[in-house]
Structure 1
């Protein structure tokens, strides 16, 4: 007799476990690469690129940016990134569980929910960070020529929407797990 459960579902399980393992390593790689990319950007990008990235007109900065402005701006930009990295760490742990075949567990749902929360906080923090950076970059301008840019971009909106979707999925898994435990109690 052929064990259809093993034959039909093992390749799918293996593919999901391999994909989860790859995602886990992807999260770990991003944990290292994103801070390096942020530092490289703020230390090496042209003034024009930094001004444009801060949603300011190209003529907004009257003089070349000082090194301290670049460093402080990088530190401000690091706050939302740090929040995102905490979320990526949660996602990596979740994918590690998936790679071990632990899929619909309370711990996996909690990790997904935590990932979603950290991504949402990162999106909200980036709104504040972008405004602070725009002020910082024009701080050397004479009074009356300084800028404060307030922008809600598609990046933040999509991150918040994505975080909401993942949080909802995690909540559904948690609720499903609770219902399954209740049903086991009746049997």
Structure 2
């Protein structure tokens, strides 16, 4: 019984943190594009970057391009929050859990592809004001994306495990 109350308490806390994240993440995206011209220019390499303000149209295009990965991220957070709302109520194995795990896994994979496209679009937006021949397109796949793909795979496997647990729980309920 004590283990169940720990799960419920921790699930309530995680549910709360996820709710805050759902509110903060869109604010971050909006402020990123709204204040983009106030951020210091940073370069990962030693080549100098020509400083210039990003026109309002490019800021708008950048923000609009961020909406797909942002929406996917919000859906992921909503799914995980819903999962913890069930744990908060003491519901551990259900078909809804299986569905939420599978959906979250697929959304994570979608987010990886959308974030690659978004980052590529950002590279074009940031170099658009450069003279022709000095504009750039950067397409990258790094360890962050690989980690998310691995996590998505783990979550999908967890959905199978939860489904088996659900079947066992149903069998135990029918046993007299």
> Which TM bucket (shorter chain)?
0.7 to 0.9
Q: How far does residue 82 in structure 1 lie from its aligned partner after superposition?
A: 0.9
Q: Is the 8 A contact 2:41 2:51 kept in 1?
A: no
Question: Aligned match of 1:97 in 64, 76, 86?
Answer: 86
Q: Which runs of 5+ in 2 are unaligned?
A: none
Task: Determine helix, strand or coil for the equivalent of 1:149.
Answer: coil
Q: Is the 8 A contact 1:60 1:146 kept in 2?
A: no
Larger deviation, residues 171-180 vs 108-117: 171-180
Question: Aligned match of 2:24 in 11, 26, 33?
Answer: 33
Answering whether residue 134 of structure 2 is matched by residue 145 of structure 1, we say: yes
Q: Is the 8 A contact 1:61 1:137 kept in 2?
A: no
Determine the structure 2 residue equivalent to 1:3.
none
Q: How far does residue 89 in structure 1 lie from its aligned partner after superposition?
A: 0.6
Q: How far does residue 26 in structure 1 lie from its aligned partner after superposition?
A: 1.4
Provide the C-alpha distance between the structure 2 equivalents of 1:58 and 1:64, rounded to a whole number of angstroms.
19
TM-score, normalised to structure 2, is: 0.86
Determine the structure 1 residue equivalent to 2:14.
23
Q: How far does residue 77 in structure 1 lie from its aligned partner after superposition?
A: 2.1
TM-score, normalised to structure 1, is: 0.82
Task: Determine helix, strand or coil for the equivalent of 2:108.
Answer: helix
Larger deviation, residues 42-51 vs 59-68: 42-51
Determine the structure 1 residue equivalent to 2:55.
66
Pairwise CA RMSD of aligned residues? 2.6
* Matched residues, number: 176
Answering whether residue 147 of structure 2 is matched by residue 158 of structure 1, we say: yes
Cα distance, 1:152–1:100 mapped onto 2, change above 3 Å: same
Q: How far does residue 113 in structure 1 lie from its aligned partner after superposition?
A: 1.7
Cα distance, 1:186–1:20 mapped onto 2, change above 3 Å: closer
